[in-house]
Amino acid sequence: MSVLTVEIRSGAYYDSVILMQLQRSLMDFPGVLDAGVVMGTKANKDVLEQSNLLAPETEAAEPDDLIIVVRGKDNTSADEAIGKVDELLSARRSAGIDQEYYPKSLETAIKMLPEAQWVLISVPGRYASNLAQYSLDSGKHVFLYSDNVTIENEISLKKLAAEKCLLVMGPDCGTAIINGVGLGFANKVRHGPIGIVAASGTGLQQVSSRIHQFGSGITHALGTGGRDLSEQVNAITARQGLDLLSRDPETKVICLISKPPSPQVANELIDLARKLGKPVVVNFIGFSTSSRKVDNVYFTASFDETAQLALDLAASGLDESGLSIHNLDRFTASQKYLRGLFSGGTLAYEALLILQDYIPNVYSNTPINKEFQLLDSMVSKEHTIIDLGEDEFTVGRLHPMMDNDLRIRRLLKEASDPEVAVILLDVVLGYGAHPNPASELAPAIAEAKSSARDKSRYVEIVAIVSGTDEDPQGIQDQIKVLEDAGAIVELSSETAVRQVGRLINSLILEPISSGSDYIQKIDIDILRQPLTAINIGLESFMESLLAQEAEAIHVDWRPPAGGDERLMSILAKMRKES
């Protein structure tokens, strides 16, 4: 047999650390079998029920009520424990903080430590927004650990912050590391070349820990809060963070981590990442991508892969071999289109796929999206990729890998089009293929280039050569003949197509738009200066700051009117009227 004793305390605020400590202290009493100390929310009452601590009195408790339940082996034990509650609540908790004077308000704390750049807020959500706004108004960056903050408040706080060139990490931001100091939950991670922006707390922790375990380290890790990449919030903090890390010379590689964002936000962030001039490893966990890499942006699928790839990129740097992008004035203003003439169907398909990262609309006789089906395969339209090995071209005719006639005619025709800037070909070697394709294609390439030159145009011709050094055609000879005719030769089909994509992007003068250009730049000093902070909320976060030797001050915060909602609204009304 055992008995349950219950006490309900109405409408008072208690720090959750205190509640945890109270519950533990109660359980330590002799004769106490179990205890529960929770606010009277539905979920918490469910928890009590699961632990067999639910009594009829607790049913009526409101979310703002504190429920104290003790299961004792008899009435005496239970009552004795409950009788000590006031004493336990008033006892000072762990004195991990050596601070002479505890300011009672954020206002006072800011006056005491005016050089603090950061305010860490971990009070209950309903009190957090006002404190965050006050911090921003005082010119402080905000680390907002609190959850249960509305998305409307998040948006207005972040808009205010963006105007003031300040960061709001959060709400519900669990972790960050600024200049070596962890905020909230954070691992001690070696200093190194990798920067992180994360809308995911444990994602940031796990990736930064793995980076450390693999032997590297991080510059800074910026949290954004889990909703930052939603369509409503529109990644305000993530954009600020990416911009900051792009300007930090110590950050060589940037990781961007989030649960899958809205497709629009994802695309905008990827476009922004492509402009940062550093490798960016994107892990939108569970976000499907069909390519692994677009220019400097790499997509990963797991935390381990993210950490490992960031290390590899930090070691190797960006490998972006360029293709005549620096010599755009050779083309006339009208030249802007790509024409791809493929003999290999899958090479054509891969090209169409990769080009999606660069040019939205590419017509084809075998398009990925039927919207871009050419009405007439014989006539190119704007950007076009033709698979000359399709059935329509091969009735009573040899495959284009064996017979170059059709391709040569088409090549010359495309080159004579004043809007064509680049022609992309594949040259497939090996048994069964034409014994010497370069001998036929090279003269046509030379002719195409020279006739363009006669009209003061420049046509770039890029050839993907597929084959081995043991193929009967002699791959080195084939490459040399094609290059001598003026073609750029690539062995990697992906490299060739990406180079062409970048060249066309440069020509059509439609630089990737990021949608983030409205973001004003935050002073990079925030990543340079030793971190100084004001902590308001959980004492354990203050203890962590001190353990990391950061300068900080803790606010002995209590909710207005002791957390009494009715009284609070009266006070607010009085303030408004005064």
CB of 334 to a copy of itself, least distance (A): 22
Q: Which stretch, 1-9, 283-291, 554-562, 564-572, contacts a copy of itself (CB under 8 A)?
A: 283-291
Identified binder of a copy of itself from the candidate list 269, 433, 438, 531, rule CB under 8 A: 433
Place of tokens 């964002």: 261
Could you tell me which residues come within 8 angstroms of residue 141 by beta carbon, excluding any fewer than 6 positions away? 117, 118, 119, 135, 161, 166, 167, 168, 169, 526
User: Hey, which residues does 257 pair with through a beta bridge?
Assistant: 198, 283
Is 39 near a copy of itself (CB under 8 A)? Answer: yes
**How many chain residues bind a copy of itself (CB under 8 A)?**
114
Q: Is residue 182 a contact point for a copy of itself (CB under 8 A)?
A: yes
Site for a copy of itself in 494-513 (CB under 8 A): 494-495
**Which 361-380 positions form the footprint of a copy of itself (CB under 8 A)?**
368, 376-379
- In angstroms, rounded to a whole number, what is the distance separating the alpha carbons of residues 244 and 160? 18
Look up residue 303 and give its two tokens: 């935390």
Q: Quick one: which of 188, 453, 455, 521 contacts a copy of itself (CB under 8 A)?
A: 188
Whole-number Å distance between alpha carbons of 121 and 184: 10
Give the type of residue at 332: T
Q: Is 237 in the site for a copy of itself (CB under 8 A)?
A: no
List 8, 113, 160, 285, residue binding a copy of itself (CB under 8 A): 285
Q: Of residues 10, 76, 99, 148, which one binds a copy of itself by CB under 8 A?
A: 148
Residue 206 interacts with a copy of itself (CB under 8 A): yes or no: yes
Report 412-431 residues binding a copy of itself (CB under 8 A). Answer: 413, 426, 428-431
Q: State in angstroms the smallest separation of the CB of 399 from a copy of itself.
A: 8
**CB of 247: closest distance to a copy of itself in angstroms?**
27
Amino acid identity of residue 540, one-letter, is: S
Return phi, psi of residue 348, to 5°: -65, -45
Q: Which of residues 436-495 bind a copy of itself (CB under 8 A)?
A: 466-472, 491-495
Regarding 321 and contact with a copy of itself (CB under 8 A), the answer is no
Which of 72, 170, 223, 226 touches a copy of itself by CB under 8 A?
Answer: 226
Q: How far is the CB of 438 from a copy of itself (least distance, A)?
A: 16
Binding status of residue 210 toward a copy of itself by CB under 8 A: yes
User: Where in 123-142 is the site for a copy of itself (CB under 8 A)?
Assistant: 124
Which C-beta is closer to a copy of itself: that of 165 or that of 353? Answer: 353
Q: Which residues ranging from 339 to 358 are in contact with a copy of itself (CB under 8 A)? A: 343-347, 349-350, 353-354
Question: Counting contacts by CB under 8 A, is residue 95 touching a copy of itself?
Answer: no
Tokens linked to 8: 């309900």
User: Which of 333, 305, 283 is closest to 456 using CA atoms?
Assistant: 333
Task: Look up residue 192 and give its DSSP letter.
Answer: E
- Radius of gyration of the chain from Cα atoms? 33
What whole-number distance in Å separates Cα of residue 465 and Cα of residue 462?
10
CB 155 → a copy of itself: shortest distance, Å? 18
Q: Which of 139, 418, 432, 443 binds a copy of itself (CB under 8 A)?
A: 432
Judged by CB under 8 A, the residue of 300, 505, 506, 514 near a copy of itself is: 300
Which secondary structure element, helix H or strand E, spans residue 406, and what is its range?
A: helix 405-415
List binders of a copy of itself among 525-554 (CB under 8 A). 538, 540-541, 544, 547-548
Among the listed ranges 72-80, 101-109, 227-235, 409-417, the one in contact with a copy of itself (CB under 8 A) is: 409-417
In angstroms, what CA-CA distances link 326 with 49, 323, 329, 503?
70, 8, 9, 9
Considering only residues 10 to 29 of the shown chain, the ones binding a copy of itself according to CB under 8 A are 14, 16-17, 19-20, 23
In a 13 Å sphere around the CA of 405, the CA atoms on its Cβ side amount to 6
Calpha distance 282→469 (Å, rounded): 37
Residue 190: half-sphere exposure toward Cβ, Cα within 13 Å: 11
DSSP code per residue over 4-72: EEEEEE-S----HHHHHHHHHHHHHSTTEEEEEEEE--HHHHHHHHHTT---HHHHT--TTSEEEEEEE
51 binds a copy of itself (CB under 8 A): yes
Q: Does 396 bind a copy of itself (CB under 8 A)?
A: yes
205 binds a copy of itself (CB under 8 A): yes
Exposed / middle / buried, residue 134 (Cβ in 10 Å: 0-12, 13-18, 19+)? middle
Q: How far is the CB of 562 from a copy of itself (least distance, A)?
A: 15
For a copy of itself, the closer CB: 165 or 546? 546
Q: Check residue 150 for interaction with a copy of itself (CB under 8 A).
A: no
Q: Which two tokens stand for residue 483?
A: 């290059």
